[in-house]
Structure 1
Amino acid sequence: MKPNTKLVVFLTFLMLCNVRLGFTQEECGAEPPKDYGNFMLKRLASISNAKALATPVSLPIQHHVSRKSNGSSPSVSATEIQNVMDELNATYASMNISFYEYGPTRFLDNNNWNPTFNKSNDSQLVQYEVSEAINIFYFTEVTSGSSTICGFAKFPGTGNRAILDASCSQNGSTSSHELGHYFSILHTHSTSDGRELVQRTNCSNAGDFFCDTPADPRLSGLVNSSCNYTGSGTDANGDQYQPDTRNVMSYTRKSCRDGGFTQQQQNAIIVSLESDRAYLLDTTTPPACTNISNFPYSESFESSFADWTNANGDDINWTRDSGGTPSNGTGPSTGQSGSYYLYTEASTNVSPPGSPNKVAILDSPCFDLSNETDLSLEFGYHMLGTDMGTLEVLISTDDGSSYSSVWSQNGNKGDTWNQATVNLATYSGAVIKIRFKGTTGSSWRSDLSIDNIKIASTTTNPPSSCNGITGFPYRKSFEPDFGSWIQETDDDINWSLESNTTPSSNTGPSGPTHGSNYIFTEASGNGTGYPNKIALLTSPCIDLTTETDAQLSFDYHMYGSNMGTLEIRASNDDGASWTTIWTKSDDQGNIWNSKTVSLSGYSGSVIKLQLKGITGSSYRSDMAIDNIDITSGSNDIIDDDIHEISLKNISVFPNPITSGFLNIKYPRTSKTDESINITITDFLGKKIDVFNSKTETITYHIGNLRKGVYFIIIEDNNQKVTHKLVKN
């Protein structure tokens, strides 16, 4: 008869492939150490004399779940972990052994292990083990070489873990099977010290060494759905096998392994627990979180990591460093506080490589806020690099089981230490953990750093000063460039540097008000420059912790028939949220206007300012800013919008001025026979001259004024306005 070629090929395929069926998938990859037979022979006496545990014990299990590097695609769910716990507690109950979760589930966020973990990487799991608990690691798929397996466990003396394939962990018996190996017992079909005979004449020194488990020919594919043995094999004496098809340690169908362990197997497990795994009996409850409850708290890593730790399962570590990171054009040159800081190395020539998109996680100790109501987290961060990634702060209230993001920054922030403040008021009364998550950018130019971590009262301990703008008066007229002001990456267009006219006609200024440069938004291009395209420029941190009456002054130009909106925004939480402190819309004429805005509402704070330009409905909406000044304040310099006066009605010309007479034209709103009081102050508010006039156009000789910035304060009975004057 001619053989059925297709059938032969199909059967051969089934034999060679790892088809994931209940009776064909390789059960486990557990491997006893060398000379394990001698170990078991020496233990046989104690096994035969062992008694059941008189007092029930509960053993700790630490679960470790594999996920992708971004925290997605966990291999098992919380419900599936509970299924494993239920299985183990049912299977081991006859030995007075139960299990509990030692601590919150830990996660291994690593794309290299998700979706597939190969047994060859087993040694890398040692670093994640909790020494006083049984460690169970879950992976979406577990392989050994090119074969798919359900898992494996470490025998006594070789490790403290079991590794489970996610789907196999839910079949009702694999978890119990692997812990059987963990507690020293072999497969019922073991042949490492010879094959057991059906008559059991060698049962104590061959097979699995237990005489109450029948000789087993290896049951893979030899048990039907009714759990009956279908094989016809014989042992070395010609006796036909009559195996136990329900033993947990066999390779029967997984659904048939409901017979638990034999008495000798149970005895071996108990002896192994009391000797090999005695450390499990020393801990019956999870360790309490080591709380820090005294505040203010600070850590700047000058001598060590202190209580902070690199988390498990990420891609790269945080590194303690001083004196500059190894790469040029990225990283700080020194710490914000002291010499040392922590940073993430983004270079690709290190091991493991640090970019792109490599995650580094730093975990805090526990902070006990049960008696606190007004704490804030402060820290310095440095994000210099053209391909900078993301820094994120996350907080957990369940001892690290889950985290919520509370702050983040991305993109190049310049070669400066910036200051961040995160309000912790919503966590009052809780015990929290804090996590810094750094994700490198698209190249090695993305080393990011943190330093000077503090937790202190927001009322009694004002925020730390920053390394940005700390001295006043401060001026920024963008000579020769943007300096430490940062173009944001989540807007539509950029602010541009210019010294002459903008490229578009009938919009934009013809030149700066101070120096050689100004900045502007280019609105050209339907869909690219307009309409409603946003440009964001952010200042470095501004330290107002010792200021009580600081003021911001600037010149702005908003000329164009389709002009948009200009906003000045402030943030006291390092950019997590912004408040508009001044705004102007529509065409303001082809002149430079000046503005002074009080910053007194931010006294005692560290803030950032942001210039937000929104283009109008056509290209005729270029807006510009120049001559930014921050001063300590003066009672003589006031907010010129107190009485809602439009500065486009005031003319101070020529401005800037070099010599000769200054003209001040002010359309008065009071009676013409009343005097207008005019005060001229220097940049710091010192009075230079005071006079009055009853005319709307006043001329003033500037011969006694040196080069610099001055303020012209005009008062009548019900209004007061300030205009800035520049003498070159």
Structure 2
Amino acid sequence: MNFYNTNSSNFKQRYSLQKFGVLACMVLMLLPAISLAQIAPLKSTYKAFNQAIKSNDNLAKSTSEVITETISEKGATWLRLFFEDVNLGKNSSLTITSDLDGASQTLTAATIKDWKNTSAYFNGDKVTLKLIVAPGERSIGFNIKELGIGLLDPTTKSQCGSSDDRVDSNDAAIGRIVPIGCTGWIITNGRLVTAGHCVGSRAQIIEFNVPKSNPDRTIVHPGPEDQYPIGNFVSPYPGNASQANDWAVFTASANSQTGLTPIQAQAKSFNVVRTDPGSNITITGFGTDTGIDNQTQQIHTGPLSSVNNTFVRYRTDTTGGNSGSPIIDAATGNAVGVHAYGGCSGSGGSNSGERATIPAFWDAMGLGGGGPDPGNDDCTGDVSSFPFVESFESSLGQWKNTSVGDDLTWTRNSGGTPSNGTGPSSAADGNTYIYVEASGNGTGYPNKRALLNSPCLDFSSLSTPRLAFQYHMLGSAINSLTVEARTNNTGNWTSVFSRTGEQGSNWNTADVDLSSYAGDSSVQLRFNVVTGSGGSGWQSDIAIDAVSIQNGSGGPDPGPTCEALNFNDFTVNPFSNQDRGGTASITNGGAALSMQSNTWKEIALSYTVTASTVIEFEFSSTSQGEIHAVGFEDDDALTPTRYFKVHGTQNYGVTNYDNYSGGTTKYTIPVGNFYTGAMNRLVFINDNDAGSGNNSIFSNVKIYEGSCGQALAESVANQESVDPIFGTEGESNDAFNVRMTPNPTKGSFSIYVNSGTKGNVNAVFYSILGRKVGQKQLRPGVNTLSPASLSMNPGIYLVTFDDNRGGSTTQKLIVQ
């Protein structure tokens, strides 16, 4: 297999489109005459350009600079810019805006690298460039070396039979690849697929949510927020052109406007299978056509002609531009291959593409499964030598994805998963792990199941068999991971291990006692994952690694460890500007923190608070002050909505647990029910502005995910429906503070205003270009809003908050 990386100097050494046409023709002459690759390159020309835009380095260091220039090319249907000698510093930026439709793209030093020193496609013949030079940055600017210009497109058309039966379609998982003029689509693990003859330096951008074309057939590009620069690809075709090799798997960088990858933004993907398709095949893609339908998304279903282990052939209408479309089994909606060639005529013939059963194609997609699809979930093989260990470094080994009773496949991966806020960042052992990708509404979630089966395990000689593995369950919508067992390929599956909900940002260790199966000659295990539900169901990637089955000793699965903090391991520091006149000391061998008088303390503790995070502690006091509380923080400013008050005279913080009445009281608080996020300190409060004499002792402080023993699990479960109750009194030195969550958001979101804020807060919403889109008056506490009520489309917004005391802050909000 040949590996190609488009992050090279392809753009600097780019052939003219005419030369590419000659090369394409030479390749196609080698292929059967009836099978024509179905590309539709954008009709365009490229013009040498030499315009430098540079900063004025004579300005004072504290002065910012804005440089505006206009680029136009009369008669162009679209424009694209190519840059060289680019320097955008650390904080400077370039914004390009179409004069025709107002679509804009903002590039920074980081994102312009992803775009390989090029811009998105902009509709019309004129764009405005706005270079914003940050204060103190020097030699900021770039040179426009070349201009891509869209031309009018002559009419060409072909299809199966005497009529074109395609109709409009809007499948969110399918995009248009330009300037080559092909189709690409998203699969369940976030990678993308197209035809092999569509990749190379001509495949530069994939566009989603493509609008209708102009009446003269000239195409219209979506806004930059729906354009993604294509990165690496895997395909044997460029080095060995043949129909059996005409497939490609590629990646695309996150969008420069939204920060989202295609699978995150589109929330849809195709499940790819190797089972035989049914009697009808659907093709959806961006084929050529007349008028406003030209190279827009259309769909048609036609009869299957034939299928083997390499090719699928069908009488389904396609035209130029359909190359790379998914071959969809109409009966199931699953993809079975990639469309590449047109061979239909009015009287016969068939269109065709490569089937997913091609081993190299399947491996490149990274969808797991080393051998052919077994067709059932029976175990095979006979593992009798232990320990039996698998870390999935080169394949799934003897573990297999099943085709019975599940919706998704387990996928090998290294590094992070495609979805932000879920999945591990690296393997627990070696470089590779396996996981279930939950992205894609209707395909990856809600409540989609993935099963991974073991080979047959012979425990005849084992007296205390055990299963050990590492598991990772991070995400706001984590559902469940279960290990199940059965014997002799018969009977019901029995659960031997189960975890539900988020389990933290680190890998966790499972140690499962299988002694009840000791002496059995045929035992089968399987990992059973169910993805999340609701609008954020895509945030439920679950991973496993370092699986080991061996003869061992010991008791049953101990569950998560619940060790108390040892304060001797930390430095206790004053917090914010509130620590005045009090003292604190570590007691009870490090298990307790004793605080006297007016004392606010913190310890450095980096911890990602998830929806399942719990803090447990014991509290005692001999004298009541104003505030006795504990909570997480991510900076040195006061955030009362994060502090859980258990005692005191002041109505401050989260007051749901303000019930201390004497002695030593144990508190188990589901923090994730109130807030989540990355924190860097744990705060302990013993406040008494009015005087001295109050005290607090916080002891046996534990922080964990989910549960820590059955009793505590039940205690937390009983509190999951609790609504936050916020105090109405603030501290006199509270910083002006607001928080928006969730962020990014796809639906409603909440703005938390400091409960100590006097009066209302004015929130003004601006587009990333500074256009005011809405305004709301917010009350202290929780304010729930929706993008629709503010007429906010998906994109990035800046929200400015002003209180009635001169306080002001600006935050970024991403609407997906």
TM-score (norm 1): 0.31
Structure with higher Rg: it is 1
- Larger helix proportion of the pair: 1
- Larger strand proportion of the pair: 2
TM-score (norm 2): 0.28
